[in-house]
Amino acid sequence: MATKKQPPATGVAPSPSHINTNQKVEALETFRADATNQALTTNQGVKIADNQNTLRAGERGPSLLEDFIMREKITHFDHERIPERIVHARGSAAHGVFKVYESQAELTKAAFLQDPSKETPVYVRFSTVQGSRGSADTVRDVRGFAVKFYTEEGNFDLVGNNMPVFFIQDAIKFPDFVHAVKPEPHNEMPQGASAHDTFWDFVSLVPESAHMVLWTMSDRAIPRSLRTMEGFGIHTFRFVNAQGKGRFVKFHWRPTIGSASLLWDEAQKLAGKDSDFHRRDLWEAIDNGDYPEWELGVQIVEEEDEHKFDFDLLDPTKIIPEELVPLKMIGKLTLNRNPDNFFAETEQVAFCPGHIVPGLDFTNDPLLQGRLFSYTDTQISRLGGPNFHEIPINRPLAPLHNGQRDAMHRQTIDKGQASYEPNSIDGGWPKETAPAAAGGGFESYTERVEGSKIRVRSPSFKDHYSQATLFWNSMTDPEKDHIVGAYSFELSKVERKPIRERQLGILANIDETLAARVAENLGLPAPKKNADADELGKSSVTESPALSIIAKAKPSVKTRKVAILAAPGADAASIKAAQDALKAEGAHAKVISPTLGSPAQGIEADATILGMPSIMFDGVIVAGGKDSAKTLSESGDARHFVLEAFKHLKAIGAIGDGEDVLAAAHLPSGEEGVAVGSDAKTVLKSFIEAMSKHRVWSRAQKAESVPA
């Protein structure tokens, strides 16, 4: 078993450069409360002598209105729930730090991107989009990836997703899109999924969605864990340096352990077996000291190159292929502390794209422009007024002083008479700060804007298919199979035939082979590409390996989870050998048995076969031992466990008599990624090598026939 690492007391990975930062954070975070050895009190600090009984008139008499303790407790309980987010309602989050690798002064004057010895505290929230707070983690959906940087110049919120594009080009269509993708209003179904008529009706009528829908039908929409997701800022932003020079910038987050996804069958089963699968994985990883890490990458475009591409930089349905603008890695994000309280932190955290600091600025992306209004407006409604910035998780570490006063939930007690600027009564304070290279006030980037006041979309936004084709061409064969399967599954749930036919027409404009394969599964004729589709635009890049998860997979077993199947009578030496070998590679092993107890001398089962099925693991090892193998071979649940792992293309190992269990399950012999033998060391070496590739893709066709 892997030894749990104890995180530092501050919740931040130790480093000499971070001591001052931690002390500063702790000094400011006086709102954190630890009730250890403390008396029970009311919200006014009055100690409570009896928390078991309401004040009443006589032992069996009526309760009295004067019981202020009961009234305060019940009133607070009645109001514990706040309106959930309209989108991104189901989320998980963690604290961490960000460090820049080297000064980015040439690109931006943002203070948190200057000093590689300084760590900036962050809070990161991951989420699904469509479902409610009670929906499942592993549904097919876009995932939110929002980062709040508590910089010395104020809070910067990078509010993005795990996909680099979006469904629409203009924010005015956002309510329409959300209404379409949400559960249908007449029956509130389906929850947490997009396989229904209203979603596909909308996207089949809005061709600009084609690129993003293709991403959503790909493996990107069913990540293996939150720790293996990429993240993107989606929009084109601006960097501005101390000399006032601006450059366009796209933000990317790349997980250091690489990206990985579930198979659709796994995702569906996990939604029922463990609806908290992603949330639990993130929490346990941090709790175990396997701190999730992402590198922050940027794509930089000089202003004079704005119009040199065959797409518009301001179009949020487009990417900048890395073949045209390489990614530059500038820093690392590490999540190292779980929240103390889910509601107070994860549920109340408020992200707004308009929260930026000097050195950053916006572009005229029409979707971004709408988000700048929408997010703040939403937080005011959801969190009970304009003082949501005073909630502890949202408070900047930088001091804040202005003339804004009152409103609901005001917590700051402002001194002085003047709540306006300029003033002479309070000495003129607080005063404006002139823009400067460092420490100065925010100054909006100077951009020349002219034109008529019109409701028109730029002709440069009209190409809806070329980048979708680029994405399709960049996929490996297994990924293409998964996309075909996803479209086939989703569209088979659509009740109206004309909607299915319209969507097939869009697929034909992306790739006729894709459309034909999906059409065959739906029992419909294969459509042809619209003759006008190519006239709208073509991509100068025809294939980009960076868009494929499989093509750029990093061989590693670090932090991955392995089930060691063992029943009473198992060989303790084989179990211990597996545990030690996996621990040495940074993986985690759990002993899974038909029942809890001790399957071998000195070994305790961590869970049962039914309690933790194979879908929760990245690989399976069957321990040696004749009695154990006999029990497992006779168990339908155990046979299903290994067959299901085979079907999901996972590495499988069997030591000694453990091979009998594979034979009893009629698992195909001699297959790649299945390591067997009497020598534990040899078996484990082959097993770890196979698992490092995440899946054994060569088994895909044969696995389809496995009845698991």
Angle, alpha carbons 136-139-140 (nearest 5°): 160
445 is in an annotated binding site: no
User: Do the annotations mark residue 280 as ligand-binding?
Assistant: no
Q: Is 628 helix (H, G, I), strand (E, B) or coil?
A: helix
Residue 84 near residue 133, CB atoms below 8 Å: yes
**Rounded to an integer, what distance in angstroms lies between the CA atom of residue 444 and that of residue 431?**
18
Q: How far apart are CA 481 and CA 502, in angstroms?
A: 21
Does 410 show up as a binding residue in the annotation? Answer: no
| Coil/strand/helix, residue 671 | coil
- Alpha carbon distance 115, 62 (integer Å): 66
Q: Is 395 annotated as a binding residue?
A: no
Cα gap 95→147, rounded to integer Å:
10
Radius of gyration, alpha carbons of the chain: 28
Single-letter amino acid, residue 266: E
- Maximum C-alpha span of the chain: 89
Write out the catalytic residue numbers.
88, 161
Evaluate the CA torsion angle 377, 379, 382, 388 in order and state its sign. Answer: negative
**Is 85 assigned a ligand-binding role in the annotation?**
yes
What's the rounded Cα separation, in Å, for the pair 181 and 198? Answer: 7
Q: Find out whether 487 is annotated in a ligand binding site.
A: no
As a whole number of angstroms, the distance between CA 85 and CA 575 comes to 46
Q: Are 335 and 364 in contact (CB under 8 A)?
A: no
Residue the block writes with tokens 């559960």: 183
Tell me the C-alpha distance between 122 and 99, whole Å. 10
Q: How many CB atoms lie within 10 A of CB 498?
A: 10
Q: Give CA–CA dist 155/147, Å, rounded.
A: 10
> What is the Cα–Cα distance from 635 to 661, expressed in whole angstroms?
9
| Sequence ranges of the binding site for heme | 85, 125, 174, 371, 375, 382
| Sequence ranges of the binding site | 85, 125, 174, 371, 375, 382
